[in-house]
């Protein structure tokens, strides 16, 4: 096989000119990327903000129960609590 230097130089020149053309191409649509959220995502975002701003402890509820306990008016239905605990355990096993 004989290598012809003129063919190589033509191929290199062709390659270099194409490369220059590719580098010179500019995008017509230089738009920034966008994120579009669905309506459900907006609702979730609002709910998350509300949850984050809500206090961890509802002091009014705590005070109400405290007063009821001290006055003897607060009764706990142990059957109801046990039933809910069993229901929760059964739901977890599914």
Phi and psi, residue 11, nearest 5°? -65, -45
For the chain (94 residues), the mean pLDDT of every run of 10, in chain order, is 73 72 61 86 93 88 94 92 94 80
For residue 86, what pLDDT is reported?
Answer: 95
Phi and psi, residue 62, nearest 5°? -60, -45
For residue 1, what pLDDT is reported?
Answer: 58
Residues 6 or more apart whose CB falls under 8 angstroms from that of 45 comprise 37
- Residue that the structure tokens 């130089």 belong to: 9
The full set of domain ranges for the chain reads 56-94
Alpha carbons 85 and 49: distance in angstroms, whole number = 30
Q: Give me the sign of the Cα torsion angle 16, 21, 26, 29.
A: negative
């Amino acid at each position: 096989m004989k290598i012809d230097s003129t063919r190589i130089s033509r191929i290199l020149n062709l390659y270099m000119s194409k490369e220059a053309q590719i580098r010179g191409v500019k995008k017509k649509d230089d738009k920034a990327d966008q994120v579009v959220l669905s309506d459900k995502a907006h609702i979730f975002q609002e709910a998350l903000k509300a949850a984050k701003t809500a206090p961890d402890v509802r002091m009014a509820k705590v005070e109400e129960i405290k007063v009821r306990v001290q006055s003897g008016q607060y009764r706990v239905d142990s059957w109801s609590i046990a039933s809910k605990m069993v229901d929760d355990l059964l739901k977890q096993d599914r």
